[in-house]
Structure 1
Amino acid sequence: MNIKEAYKITGVSSSTIRYYEKEGLIPYISRDKNGVRDIDEHMIRRIKFIKTMRLAGMTIEALKKYIKLFDSMQNHQKEELQLLKEQKAIMEEKRDDIQLAINHLDYKITNFYDHTAQLESEIKQAENKDILNN
C-alpha cells in the first residue's frame, strides 16, 4: 500500500512516516517502479506501535534504542524487556501525576460555587475594613 493508505489505517501522517523512516524507527520502505513507497502489514504494525508509544510519552531516543535491540540479529530480550519496564514505570508516574491533577480539578469543580462565595465574602469584608480605616 502507499503512504496515503498507510495514513488512513494508522492515523500517522505521511510526513511523520517519512520522519520515522529517516530516523530508523521503521526500516527503509521499498519503492515501486514509480518511486512510490510500498508499505506492508509488518510496517503498519511497527508504525502503530511507534504511534502508541509516542502518544504515551516515549522519547524518540528510547524508541530508537528499543527498535535497534529488537531488530538486531542477536538475542537482546533481557535488554528489550528492561527498556519496556523502564518506560512503563515512567508512564505510570506520569499517569499518577495526571490523576492527581484531575482529582484536584474535580474537587475545585465540585466546590466551585462554595469557594467563589467564600472568596467574594472575604473580599467584601476586606473592602469594608479598608473603608472604615480610611
Structure 2
Amino acid sequence: MTITEVSEKFNIPQDTLRYYERIGLIPRVHRNKSGIRDYTEEDCKWVEFVKCMRNAGLPIEVLIEYVALFQQGDETIEARKQLLIEQREQLKKRIEDMQQTLERLDYKIAVYEQSVVVREKELRK
C-alpha cells in the first residue's frame, strides 16, 4: 500500500505516518525501487496498533520503547508485558477519573434541567 492509501485507511495524515517512522514509533517501512514507501500488512498492523494506543492516551515515548523492545526479539517479552501492564493501570485510572467527571457533568446538567422546569412552572402562574 502507498502512504496515501494507508493515510486514508487509518485517517492519519501522511506527515504523521512519516514522523512515526522517523522517530521509531513504527518500524521502518520498506521502499520500492523508486524509493516510495510500500506498506505491508504487517506495517499496517503497526499503524493500527499505534493509532489505538495513542487514542487511548499512551505517550509516544512509551510506544517508542515498546517498538524498540519488540525489535530486540523474544528476550524482551517480559519487559514488553510489564510496560503494557503499567500502561493499562494508568489507563484504568484515567478512565475512573473520566467516569467521575462524566457523573459530575450529568449531575450539573440535571440541576440545570430541573431549574428550567421550575422556572417554566413559575412563569405559567
Q: State the alpha-carbon separation in 2 of the partners of residues 53 and 83 from structure 1.
A: 13
Q: State the alpha-carbon separation in 1 of the partners of residues 27 and 114 from structure 2.
A: 58
What TM-score results when the alignment is normalised by the length of structure 2? Answer: 0.86
| Amino acid across the alignment from 2:38 | D
The structure whose Rg is larger is 1
Number of the residue aligned with 2:42: 42
| Amino acid across the alignment from 1:34 | S
Number of the residue aligned with 1:93: 93
Q: 1:25 to 1:113 in 2, by over 3 A?
A: closer
List structure 1 runs of 4+ shifted beyond 3 angstroms.
Answer: 113-118
The answer to whether the 8 Å contact 2:27/2:67 transfers is no
Tell me by how many angstroms 1:50 deviates: 0.4
The count of residues paired between Structure 1 and Structure 2 equals 118
Q: 1:8 to 1:113 in 2, by over 3 A?
A: closer
- Which shifted more, 13-22 or 67-76? 67-76
Number of the residue aligned with 2:108: 108
- Which shifted more, 6-15 or 42-51? 6-15
| Amino acid across the alignment from 1:5 | E
**Can you give the 5+ residue segments of structure 1 that lack an aligned partner in the other structure?**
119-134
Tell me by how many angstroms 1:76 deviates: 1.2
Q: State the alpha-carbon separation in 1 of the partners of residues 70 and 29 from structure 2.
A: 18
2:75 alignment partner, SS class: coil
Percent identical among aligned pairs is 36
| Amino acid across the alignment from 2:97 | D
1:111 alignment partner, SS class: helix
**Can you give the 5+ residue segments of structure 2 that lack an aligned partner in the other structure?**
119-125
What are the equivalent positions in structure 2 for 1:1-134 lying under 5 Å apart? 1-114=1-114
What TM-score results when the alignment is normalised by the length of structure 1? Answer: 0.81
Tell me by how many angstroms 1:115 deviates: 5.2
Tell me by how many angstroms 1:34 deviates: 2.4
| Amino acid across the alignment from 1:36 | I
